Amino acid sequence: MDIAIDLGSCRTRIFAEKKGKVLDEASVAAYNVITNEIIAVGDEAYAMIGKTPDSICAVCPIENSVISQSNLIEDTINIMLKHVYTSKLVMPRVVAAIPGDITEVEKRAVVNAISSFGVRRVYLIENTKAAAMGSGADIISPHGTMVANIGGGTTNIAVLSLGGVAVSKTVKVGGNRMDNEIIKYLKNKYSLIIGNPMAEKCKRAIGCVFPQEGEAYFRAKGRDAVGGLPRYVDISTNELLRVLIEPAMEIVSAIKDVLESAPPELVGDIYTDGITLTGGLSNLKGFPELISKNTGLKVFVANKPEDCVINGCGMAIQYIADVEKKISNDINPLMAAY
């Protein structure tokens, strides 16, 4: 049974051949700082963020879609894979998604982390290709397809055709950046200190990047920066819009840069078909309207955008055989094998 992995900054997802998505957990690990022993991984570890004693640290070993703590991510992947792959007789082949602008050193870090589990081979695919495939787009034909994969750590934008990337751009702006902006805003304006989990809850509840009808409120709970006592603040939708619009416009600017660099014939296809948004942050209210207003193009959010990359990686498993047989005549979205 071959498997696929999407090592995201916020979530790690695993796809098993003939089974579909079998794991979707937070990309967090909690470990003992004295013994370096892993205490918990995934959603269990995420629930510990900001609530651990000094002897335990809960961290995200992946920052901006790049592995920042190699030893920790190896143990995390091993624990997660053991939950979904129990066979000890046959080592699996793995398809893993990576950002488009990743360096060779960063590629090796991903390959080494996955290989530590004991796999036959690791095949890499750019996450924009996987996202487009997972959204149902045909990237193999000579037709321009534009996808913006808006995730937790980065936003990857690409124009695809004939199974390859014609032009792409990656910006380190995503859900984590927006969470940090919320944290800074509440501290500067209301002297309220909150953690990342509370900021994420606020973003999910009332976050938007384009004016919405009606007004909603979210009660953010934290610690008073002056007195040190527990306190809360009710923040409104319009107030949060002013906080999130700056990082959102950076994503819009990157999309416009990609359009300006794309070949004219492919831009013609995009003008007809529009732009597809994938990634968990594309669920944020107002993103399609904001991008459409600034580009003049149709913008669609894919069905279950947070699962597009992992589903696309799962679809790419079928191309492994062509790589192993060294069939070069056919178009293959897999970019490398290790």
Task: Report yes or no: 182 and 150 within 8 Å, Cβ to Cβ.
Answer: no
Which CATH number is 175-243's, of 3.90.640.10, 3.30.870.10, 3.30.565.10, 3.90.79.10? 3.90.640.10
Question: Exposure pattern of 76-94 as b/e (b: 16+ CB <10 Å)?
Answer: bbbbbbeebbeeeeeebbb
Condensed to tens digits (0 to 9), the pLDDT of residues 302-313 reads: 999 999 999 999
Q: Could you tell me the CA-to-CA distances from 283 to 74, 88, 166, 240 in Å, in that order?
A: 30, 39, 26, 16
Domain 3-131+311-337 identical in fold to domain 134-173+245-305: yes
Query: Looking at per-residue confidence, does 249 or 102 come out higher?
Result: 249
pLDDT at 160: 94
Query: Looking at per-residue confidence, does 63 or 288 come out higher?
Result: 288
- What are the backbone dihedrals phi and psi of residue 299, each rounded to the nearest 5 degrees, phi first? -130, 130
Q: For 3-131+311-337, which CATH class?
A: alpha beta
- The secondary structure of residue 319, as a DSSP letter, is G
pLDDT at 107: 86
Q: Is the pLDDT of residue 8 over 60?
A: yes
pLDDT at 89: 63
pLDDT at 255: 97
Fold of 134-173+245-305: Nucleotidyltransferase; domain 5 (3.30.420)
Sheet holding 29-32, edge to edge: 38-41, 29-32, 56-59
Query: Looking at per-residue confidence, does 271 or 91 come out higher?
Result: 271
Condensed to tens digits (0 to 9), the pLDDT of residues 104-119 reads: 888 888 888 888 888 8
pLDDT at 135: 95
- How many CA atoms are closer than 13 Å to the CA of 69, on its beta-carbon side? 17
Condensed to tens digits (0 to 9), the pLDDT of residues 254-301 reads: 999 999 999 999 999 999 999 999 999 999 999 999 999 999 999 999
- The secondary structure of residue 280, as a DSSP letter, is G
Q: Which residues is 154 bridged to in the sheet? A: none
Condensed to tens digits (0 to 9), the pLDDT of residues 172-182 reads: 999 999 999 99
Condensed to tens digits (0 to 9), the pLDDT of residues 204-226 reads: 999 999 998 889 999 999 999 99
Closest CA to 59 of 24, 26, 82, 12: 26
- The secondary structure of residue 326, as a DSSP letter, is T
CA atoms of 23 and 236, how far apart (whole Å): 34
Let me know the angle formed at the C-alpha of 192 by 177 and 236, rounded to the nearest 5 degrees: 70
pLDDT at 238: 93
Per-domain residue ranges for the chain? 3-131+311-337, 134-173+245-305, 175-243
DSSP helix/strand/coil, 209: coil
| pTM of this prediction exceeds 0.85 | yes
- The mean pLDDT of 146-159, rounded to a whole number, is 94
Provide the percentage of residues in the chain whose pLDDT is more than 90: 66
Provide the percentage of residues in the chain whose pLDDT is more than 70: 97
What is the residue-averaged pLDDT of the chain? 91
Pairing between β-strand 121-126 and β-strand 145-150 as defined by DSSP bridges: unpaired
Condensed to tens digits (0 to 9), the pLDDT of residues 22-49 reads: 999 999 999 998 888 999 999 999 999 8
